[in-house]
Structure 1
Amino acid sequence: MPPDHTDTGHSHSHAGHAHSHGHDHAQAVTASNEARIRFVFVLTAGYALVQAVGGWLAGSLALVADAGHMVSDAAALLLALIAYRIARRAADAKRSYGFHRVRVLAALANGATLLLLVAWIAWEALKRLNQPVEVLAGPMLAVAVVGLLVNLAGAYALWSGNRQDGNLRGAFLHVLGDLLGSVGAIAAAVGIMLTGWTILDPLLSVVVAALIVRSAWVLVADSVRVLLQAMPHGVDGRQAAEGIAEIHGIAEARHFHAWTLAEESRVATVHVVPASGTDPMTLPPLVAAWLEQRFAIDHVTVQVDPPGRDSDCVAAAGPSADR
């Protein structure tokens, strides 16, 4: 686990160790992002009710099923809102990094539910190919057009927010799936009206599922990457240690570790050995500045080891974990 440092904004040294901290671990939970998700949640939940009633009155199984899709998305958006509430809590003595990883968990849950949704769509499509159901194209088209307008408003609200926020990105992907579903429903309704081919409904559902699955997988993979504290994207551990060793005044750099705290913050630790005649206290800010400029790492802990003595840390800098 990463070291627990609650001191920030200064450097200090003890027993041959020096640490440089330039940023607080706490991160701001953007009120704008939370408001955007709240707005989209109200839209999604409200339209899910309208769609369910419309599907029941029209006798359309497709619309009723899509209403279930919207309900699952509304639940995911509610989870995202809860995650923001928890993430707003201040860091404390036991949780010095705060609660921002809750947002990563919410993003993981959103991606996982999207993958489950894709599997459900595929299963339902296969059943409908074998046993076609009657679809009333007129009511289906009317409800789908309303859904398209609702999802366009929701997608725009989320797209114009902070795109580095994985929680917001997960919510956007859910709404994007709804939007694509509305487009597919409109196309299917028009096709059925013109040809009478009810098979168009399950076929277009499979197309929508294929469009969703890649983005959902990336969201899940990125969330797991953060939770496993893998190297951030673009950071090569061995190259970073070699680059630090080339900084003037440093004889050796070792035990480099880096991970992502949350979407906006990268953290790193490294051990350095000063060159002969170098003041150890001058090295931490140099290393921190180099890592921030080279890899956008905003919080760095530097331990200065005396020459000829290795630290108790047993892990060495390894090859990049980046894709």
Structure 2
Amino acid sequence: PYLSPAKDRVVDALSLSFIFLVNRMARKPSDAHHSYDFHRIETLLNTSLILLFIAMAAYSALVTTQLLLANAVRSPGSAVIPSIAALVLLLIAAFFMDKDEKSNFSVLFIHTIQDLGAIMVTLAFSLASAYFTGLPLDYIGSYAVLVIILYGNRKMFGRNINILLGGSPVSIREVEDMVRAEFPNAHHLHIWDICQHQRVATLHLSIPSSLKL
């Protein structure tokens, strides 16, 4: 009722390939048309990956609902062997994955941890359905996986959307009040993130026409 572990690993491999490509593009120096380099593309990739993972989970839940309404019979053991194999691969991937929140790999690391939880839920519900026959536990596990993915991605998704919208990661009013305490003529303070590891700010300062800088 959900995407097979093999297909999920293919998606992870493609995601990792895109991350390497984007990291290479982000290292390009600034030019006459890009003052802040190309780091914003990292945020675009992070948002796209999260949406992809959510879409995969939603599709699995949709297929699960169709099978459940059709009273389709599914062998509990059909998910056990591939789930155990995927569990081993995910443990290895999580060990080597970069866990730094500033890294572009952080999204994939979080997804890997979510996959670990999802596979464990799959195993638990699949084994339980073998003992509690007549209950759609295997299908309920698919909905549990969707909840795990949605809950696990909520903060990362919100942060990336805030970056794309030019939102400030800190209170601009508080910072502006602190600056005005030293420079009363300061105004129009702007603070925003280019990506998760690059923050910029601009400030306007009114000075007498007779004053030279």
- Confirm or deny a common fold (TM above 0.5): yes
User: 1:140 and 1:118 mapped to 2: Cα distance?
Assistant: 16
Which of 68, 78, 102 aligns to 2:41? It is 102
**Contact between 2:5 and 2:83, CA under 8 Å: does it hold in 1?**
no
Distance 1:197 1:179, change over 3 A: farther
**Contact between 1:114 and 1:213, CA under 8 Å: does it hold in 2?**
no
Correspondence for 1:258: 191
Distance 1:177 1:200, change over 3 A: same
* 1:66 shift after superposition: 4.1
Correspondence for 2:86: 147
Aligned residues: 210
* 1:308 shift after superposition: 7.7
After superposition, give the CA deviation of every residue in 1:216-274 in whole Å (9 maximum; x if it has no partner). 23322211211222112xx2222222211112xx33211111111221221111123xx
After superposition, give the CA deviation of every residue in 1:22-65 in whole Å (9 maximum; x if it has no partner). xxxxxxxxxxxxxxxxxxxxxxxxxxxxxxxxxxxxxxxx4764
Correspondence for 1:177: 114
User: 2:3 and 2:190 mapped to 1: Cα distance?
Assistant: 50
**Contact between 1:181 and 1:208, CA under 8 Å: does it hold in 2?**
yes
Distance 1:261 1:173, change over 3 A: same
Q: What percent of counterpart residues are identical?
A: 23
RMSD of aligned Cα (Å)? 2.4
Kindly provide the amino acid, as one letter, of the partner of residue 177 in structure 2: E
* 2:17 aligned counterpart, secondary structure: helix
Correspondence for 2:177: 242
For normalisation by structure 2, the TM-score amounts to 0.86
Distance 1:147 1:210, change over 3 A: same
Structure 2 unpaired stretches of 5+: none
More helix by share: 2
Which of 27, 35, 39 aligns to 1:88? It is 27
Which of structure 1's runs of 4+ aligned residues deviate more than 6 A?
none
* 2:201 aligned counterpart, secondary structure: strand
* 1:76 shift after superposition: 2.4
User: 1:134 and 1:67 mapped to 2: Cα distance?
Assistant: 22
* 1:139 shift after superposition: 5.0
Please say which structure displays the higher CA radius of gyration. 1
**Contact between 2:91 and 2:116, CA under 8 Å: does it hold in 1?**
yes
After superposition, give the CA deviation of every residue in 1:280-299 in whole Å (9 maximum; x if it has no partner). xxxxxxxxxxxxxxxxxxxx
Correspondence for 2:74: 135
* 2:105 aligned counterpart, secondary structure: helix
Structure 1 unpaired stretches of 5+: 1-61, 273-304, 310-323
* 1:89 aligned counterpart, secondary structure: coil
Correspondence for 2:160: 223
**Contact between 1:253 and 1:270, CA under 8 Å: does it hold in 2?**
yes
**Contact between 1:87 and 1:98, CA under 8 Å: does it hold in 2?**
yes
* 1:251 aligned counterpart, secondary structure: coil
Correspondence for 1:31: none
